[in-house]
Amino acid sequence: MRPDRQLPGRAAEAGRRPGRGRERRPQGRHHGRRPDRRRGPARRRDRRGASGRAAPAPRTGLTAGSPRRTAGNRRGGRGCPARRAGGGRPPGSTEGLAVVTSEPAGGLDGRAGRELLAAAGVLFPDAQGRVLIVRLPYDRRHPLAVSGGGWEPRDLSPRRTAVREIEEELGFTPRLGPLACIDWTLDDYRPPVAAHLYWGDPLTPRELAAFTPDPAEVGGWAWLTPEQAGHALPPRLSRRVSACLRAPRDAGPLELEDGMPAGHTLDHLAAGPPPAYTRLAGVTLTGTPGLPPAEPAAPPLDRETFIATRPRIRAKARTLFTDADGRVLLVRLRPWPGPGGEEPYWVLPGGGIEADRELPRAAARREVREELGWECEPGRLLALDWLPGRDADRASDRDTAVLVYVFDGGTVTEEQLASIALAEDELVEWRLCDPARARALLSGSSWARTAAALATRARAGGPAELVGGRPAD
């Protein structure tokens, strides 16, 4: 790939490289910021975060940064201790940066802080348990990374991003295994990143011999043990990669926030600091087609320009509640002006993640509180559904891709259902629906996503990886 597509600074979370995609303006009913029903000191407290310190204004750049403690790293149980809002715990961390999604079309204003970047990388293991690490010829500060890079609007899914990046960087088409983790990362210097890390099948001797790296992007590679990789990679990436290497494979995909375990991942890993960062010390590189480490190539774009030209996605957080009979709780949106606005539109409770104040779990808590009047801790992450934009799928009505998190709300009681207080400015009614009725009310992709989330409930492990509600391939 041409040097003008290189990433200035460190890897783009799972990988690197800017693309030429411009930021896309969201369109649709839920792309604007919803009216905030909080007032006065309570609202100001939310903007300051759980620590009481004012959240820093987002700045541009893709630096490793220092690790930050985030909310949402709490273990969620299967049953939701739903309580009326006002008597429960305060909202989660507001120090995050995040986004929204586009299901129906319509129009509200106020879009600042509701978009994020996406990236995908690949972990290639070998028979000795080592992992493939590449050197970035243009990055002196953080010279080592996992191969991968940023999402482009024409990528149908993060899997396609990962495959394309390996083809461009290393010159072969990888065979991908399951999603290893989803990591929502925060930084004071750029928007959040939804970083997807995949397992790659072990490379054959023929594939290794056929390596044809792009010298502008790969200045050598090395096979490192998990311990070596933990020291050699930048702290945030080190936490992410180390989590994938330490956790049992059947625990995946792991849910991470800034590289720290969240949700079901806490059952398998304890949160902790990364090992001492040693960069290239003790690392023996092979196949160095680019410049030597002492003379890294200068990135063609400054960080501000790079960030401004990166395409954005949006994200939603929804929660799956059922009753004792297995019926699903659905809510109907209030009609909105514009095409399709008068048609009944049913969804799982939830909505857009607000990038300037929350992480996905915090968004799920807030949406349930605002829409139903409950204070409820999200349980397991059941599904991750990637909805392509129209650049990747001509049948799509979305202007960009949307990533939907579906959390388990557990089984609710009659008393909890009786306490529902709908957000009247947004919702018209709620219903408990058996699977057949839910399928009839929901759109095709929404029902497929809900069915996948219900299936995940019945097994151990991480969330289902979906594209448009269907299993990713």
User: Mind giving me the DSSP string for 39-82?
Assistant: -HHHHHHHHH-TTSSPPPPP------------TT-SPPPSS---
Domains of the chain: 3-22+117-298 (3.90.79.10), 40-114+310-471 (3.90.79.10)
Contact 211, 227 (CB under 8 A): no
- The pTM (predicted TM-score) of the whole model is 0.78
Tokens of 181: 């983790």
Residue in 333, 364, 340, 343 with CA at minimum distance from that of residue 431: 333
Contact 144, 283 (CB under 8 A): yes
pLDDT in tens, the chain (473 residues): 433 333 333 444 433 443 333 333 333 333 333 434 333 333 323 322 333 323 333 322 222 322 222 333 333 334 454 433 333 323 333 222 223 333 333 333 345 477 999 999 999 999 899 999 999 998 889 999 999 999 999 999 999 999 999 999 999 999 999 999 999 998 878 889 999 999 999 988 888 888 889 988 999 999 999 999 999 999 999 999 999 999 999 999 999 999 999 999 999 998 888 889 999 998 988 875 444 444 555 666 777 888 888 999 999 999 999 999 999 999 999 987 766 666 789 999 999 998 767 899 999 999 999 999 999 999 999 999 999 999 999 999 899 999 999 999 999 999 999 999 999 999 999 999 999 999 999 999 999 999 999 999 999 999 999 999 999 98
Residue in 166, 138, 66 with CA at minimum distance from that of residue 303: 138
Q: How far apart are CA 254 and CA 345, in angstroms?
A: 32
Q: How far apart are CA 151 and CA 262, in angstroms?
A: 24
Q: What's 12's DSSP letter?
A: B
Q: Which H or E run contains 168? A: helix 158-170
Q: Determine the number of helices (DSSP H) and then strands (DSSP E) in the chain.
A: 10, 20
Question: What are the φ/ψ torsions at residue 267 (nearest 5 degrees)?
Answer: -70, -15
